[in-house]
């Protein structure tokens, strides 16, 4: 990742998003020639010289202090994910070889797999580049279209943008697609030396116009909780809620668990899917009986 261009475009797009009215600047009427705030206006609000802010927006965060980043974040009205992204970009520019972050884990420990298998709800483990690394039987059944392409590790971002079944699976595909891009961009700032992530972003940028358009928006987000609306090929529409939990022992891995509203049609359909999974498992003969 070219960190300087990333910083430049991120700060520019965030500045253009903020209006003078939002920050209490007087409106003298007339047509403004720039979107959002001018550089000198943002510098004034952030409490720094115009020359210094221009240096930052040109992509140079070398030696920048935390207090300056905090002032800049407030002036740009960044949310929590954007605030963390700005600090990640600064950390990368100022990091030495000895202070680089530990690379993400690529394997799921057996104890984590046993925990997944003991959960009654769909649950799976992903890394920062959206690989489906492990899951319980119900999660694999829920995401069954993801496993139809057996080439390589299943990846939800690749499935969303490069497989036509992705748009059929996620009923809110447009939202899911934008969120996935924002999560990948945030991860790219945290792990700029992850070759697998770089290769994935390059592949999606080359092969998907939908991905390229969303990537150009420089959105970032944290994948914490929310809702997913899917269409399962066997049981139909399911509305899910999800919660994520970082596996602190395993760098870069996140466990995602899904639930449904009690008494809802979605709960009934998820239970039907669980019954199908149990029936299929019961039909498989034990090794000694085979």
Token pair 């590790």 in the structure block, residue: 153
The domains found in the chain, sorted by start residue, are: 3-99 (1.10.260.40), 110-283 (3.30.450.180)
- What local confidence, expressed as pLDDT, does residue 286 receive? 60
* Alpha carbon distance, N-terminus to C-terminus of the chain: 52
Side-chain-side CA neighbours of residue 249 (13 Å): 5
Residue 273 has pLDDT above 90, yes or no: yes
Segment 104-163, tens digit of pLDDT: 778 899 999 999 999 999 999 999 999 999 999 999 999 999 999 877 899 999 999 999
Closest CA to 250 of 55, 103, 38: 103
Nearest in space to 153 (alpha carbons), one of 120, 178, 130: 130
Distance separating alpha carbons of residues 141 and 277, to the nearest angstrom: 7
Overall average pLDDT of the 24-37 stretch: 73
pLDDT tens digit sequence for 163-195: 999 999 999 999 999 999 999 999 999 898 899
| Global pTM value | 0.86
pLDDT band at 209 (very low <50, low <70, confident <90, very high): very high
Nearest Cα to Cα of residue 78 among 218, 175, 174: 218
What local confidence, expressed as pLDDT, does residue 246 receive? Answer: 93
Q: What is the DSSP string of 210-240?
A: HHHHHHTTT------EEEEEEEETTTEEEEE
CA distances from 40 to 43, 82, 200 (A): 5, 22, 38
Query: What are the residues facing 257 on neighbouring strands?
Result: 123, 243
């Amino acid at each position: 990742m070219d960190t300087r261009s990333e910083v430049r475009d991120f700060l520019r797009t965030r500045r253009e998003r903020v209006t003078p009215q939002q920050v209490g600047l007087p409106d003298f009427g007339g047509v403004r020639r720039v979107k959002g705030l001018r550089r000198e206006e943002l510098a004034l609000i952030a409490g720094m010289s115009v020359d210094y802010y221009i240096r930052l927006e040109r992509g140079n965060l070398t030696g920048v202090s935390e207090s300056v980043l905090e002032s800049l974040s407030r002036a740009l009205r960044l949310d929590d994910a954007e605030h963390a992204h700005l600090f990640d970009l600064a950390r990368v520019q100022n990091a030495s070889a000895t202070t680089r972050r530990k690379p993400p884990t690529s394997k799921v420990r057996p104890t984590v797999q046993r925990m997944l298998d003991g959960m009654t709800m769909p649950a799976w483990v992903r890394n920062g580049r959206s690989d489906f690394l492990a899951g319980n039987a119900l999660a694999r059944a829920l995401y069954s279209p993801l496993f139809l392409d057996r080439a390589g590790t299943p990846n939800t971002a690749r499935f969303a943008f490069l497989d036509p079944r992705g748009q059929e699976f996620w009923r809110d595909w447009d939202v899911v697609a934008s969120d996935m891009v924002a999560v990948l961009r945030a991860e790219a700032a945290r792990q700029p030396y992850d070759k697998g992530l770089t290769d994935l972003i390059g592949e999606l940028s080359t092969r998907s116009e939908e991905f390229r358009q969303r990537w150009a928006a420089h959105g970032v987000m944290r994948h914490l909780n929310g809702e997913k609306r899917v269409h399962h090929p066997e049981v139909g529409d399911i509305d899910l809620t999800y919660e994520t939990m970082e596996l602190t022992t395993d760098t870069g891995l996140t466990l995602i668990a899904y639930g449904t509203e009690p008494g809802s049609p979605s709960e009934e359909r998820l239970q039907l899917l669980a019954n199908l999974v149990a029936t299929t498992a019961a039909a498989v003969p034990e090794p000694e009986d085979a």
